[in-house]
Structure 1
C-alpha cells in the first residue's frame, strides 16, 4: 500500500509524492503533516489520556523534503497534560504544535449536544477535487459532497486509500487529523488561480475520539475586507459530530 510518509530514522520522515501541496507541487500539503505530528504526539504520551485540542502554527514553507519531529511535555499531570511538538525541515522550524491531553472518565450519563449525523458517504459519487486544485495530496483523496459546493460553503466526506506512514500502525485519530486541513480547499470563495488564501494555522477541538476511515467536514469560509479570512468546520465521523476546526487565512490576489 502507498503512503504519505516513509520512516527513515527515529523521528525522521520522508514525504512521498502523495503529500505534494496544492499551492506549490514542490511543497508539502499541511494536512498529512498535521496527521504525522499528531501521531508523534500520541507516541510521546502515555496510554489513556485523550487528545482534546491540537493547535498547529505553520511557521514557513513546507518543502517536500525529509522532516524531523521532536515532542516534549510542557505541563505534566495525571489528569491534564500539555505537550508541544516541533517539525523541522532542513534544520528549520516549520510547524509548532501544542496539544492538551485530558484524562478519560465515564460521562455517558451527562453527555449531550448536537448529535445530527451527516448522510453516509456510501451512495454519494466522488467529486474530483483536482478540478479545483493541483497537487499529489489532492489527487490522493476520495471526496464525496453531500450537495454541490457553493462559494464559501461545502459539506463533504473525505477519505484516502493511502497509509499515513508506510508499514507503520497509526491511530484512527492521527489518520483523521491527516485529512482535516482539506477543509480550506473544499469551499473556495474565489478561484485559487486568481487569489491566494492559505491558512497559517489549524486548531482542532474534540469532544470525543473520531472513529473509522471517513472525515466529515461541514465547512464555512469567510473573507474579511482587509486581507484576513476564517475557515470554520464542524467535524464529523459516521456516528455524528466529534468537534470543530478553525483556520485563519491570509487572503491576497495573485497578481
Structure 2
C-alpha cells in the first residue's frame, strides 16, 4: 500500500456528535478484535479539543499539561461514544474528565489538567538531550514482531536495542485520526505514545503478556510536527507488575514524559 493510499485512510470514522467507529487500522496488538489503545488515546484528545472549541469561551487560554487514562476493561473493535465534562472549572487551572463507552459500558476514563498559558520563554530549559533525528535511524518493521492493524499502519525508526527493555524510537503515521477531520498536533502526537510498550520489550510477547492498564502523559511544552519520539525503558518486577517509562520528544527536543503500568503474566497455553 502506497503512502498516498494511507493518507486517505483513518483510524476512526465519525458516526455521531460523540460517536466514532474504529477502522481495521485501529486493531490491537494483543487481540484482533480489540482496539490498540494508542489511537484511542489520541481520539480522546481530539474529542476534548472539539468540546473546548464548542463551549462558550473556548479553551479560556488554557493548555493541556497532563492527561491520565485508566483502562477499565476490554476495548472492543466496536463503535464508541466519548463524553467530556469539566469537573473542576477555573480560570487558570481546570480539570476535565472524558469517558469512553462501548456497548453501554465505560472502558476508559481520562482526566486532563489544563493550565494557564503564559510566556515563560525566558526560563524555558531542559537538561534532557534530544534524540537523533528520525532520518538518522533505520526503519524498523514492527509488524514482524507484533500483530494488528495499528502496528501495520505506523512508520517506525528505532535505535537498535543494546539490552532488553531499553531503546529509543521515532513513530509517525500518515493516516487521519478521524476521517475528514483535522486533528491538533497534540491529538496526533498522543495517538502514537502508547506504542512505547511495544518498542522496548523485556520478554518475547509470544511467551509473556504485559498489557498496560493505564497511560499518563505529562507535558512541559506542546509538541510540534508529525513525529513522536520515545526514549523508553521497560522494567518487570518479581510479583507480576511492570512499568514502561518514556521521555517524550518532538523533532525540536524533549516535551514531557509518559508512564504505563503493566500486568505481567505468562501467555496461556
TM, length-normalised to structure 1: 0.98
* Contact 2:158/2:168 (8 A) holds in 1: yes
Contact 2:161–2:200 (8 Å) recurs in 1? no
Q: Does 1:18 align with 2:31?
A: no
Could you report, residue by residue, the CA deviation over 1:157-199 in whole angstroms, capped at 9, with x for unpaired residues? 0001111000001100000000000000001111111100000
Q: 2:106 aligns with which of 89, 93, 101?
A: 93
2:255 corresponds to 1:248: no
Partners of 1:191 and 1:148 in 2: how far apart? 14
Name the CA distance, whole Å, in 2 between partners of 1:178 and 1:149: 27
Which residue does the alignment assign to 2:40?
33
Partners in 2 of 1:220 and 1:80 — Cα distance? 31
- Does structure 1 residue 145 correspond to structure 2 residue 158? yes
User: Which consecutive unaligned segments of at least 5 residues does structure 2 have?
Assistant: 1-7, 53-57
Question: Which region of structure 1 is more displaced relative to structure 2, 8-17 or 142-151?
Answer: 142-151
SS of 1:9's equivalent in the other structure is coil
The Cα offsets for residues 105-159 of structure 1, whole Å up to 9 and x where unpaired, read as: 0011122222521111124221000121000000001010133463101100000
- C-alpha separation between the residues in 1 aligned to 2:104 and 2:257? 32
Alignment-derived partner of residue 132 in structure 1: 145
Q: TM-score, normalised by structure 2?
A: 0.93
Instruction: Give the superposed CA RMSD.
Output: 1.0
SS of residue paired to 1:122: helix
| Paired residue secondary structure (1:31) | helix
Distance in 1 between the 2:22 and 2:121 partners? Answer: 40
Give 1:64's match in structure 2, choosing from 51, 63, 77: 77
Q: How many residues align?
A: 255
Give the whole-Å Cα distance in 2 for the aligned partners of 1:130 and 1:230.
Answer: 23
CA deviations 1:71-97 (Å, max 9, x no partner) are: 000001111000000000011100000
**Unaligned 5+ residue runs, structure 1?**
none
2: CA distance, partners of 1:86 / 1:149 = 39
2:4 alignment partner in structure 1: none
| 8 Å contact from structure 1 (residues 149, 186) kept in 2 | no
Q: Which residue of 1 aligns with 2:5?
A: none
Q: Give the corresponding residue for 1:4.
A: 11
Deviation string 1:17-58 (CA, Å, 9 cap, x unpaired) is 000000001000000000000111122222331100000000
- Asked if structure 2 preserves the Cα contact closer than 8 Å seen for 1:20 and 1:64, the reply is yes
Secondary structure of the structure 2 residue equivalent to 1:155:
strand
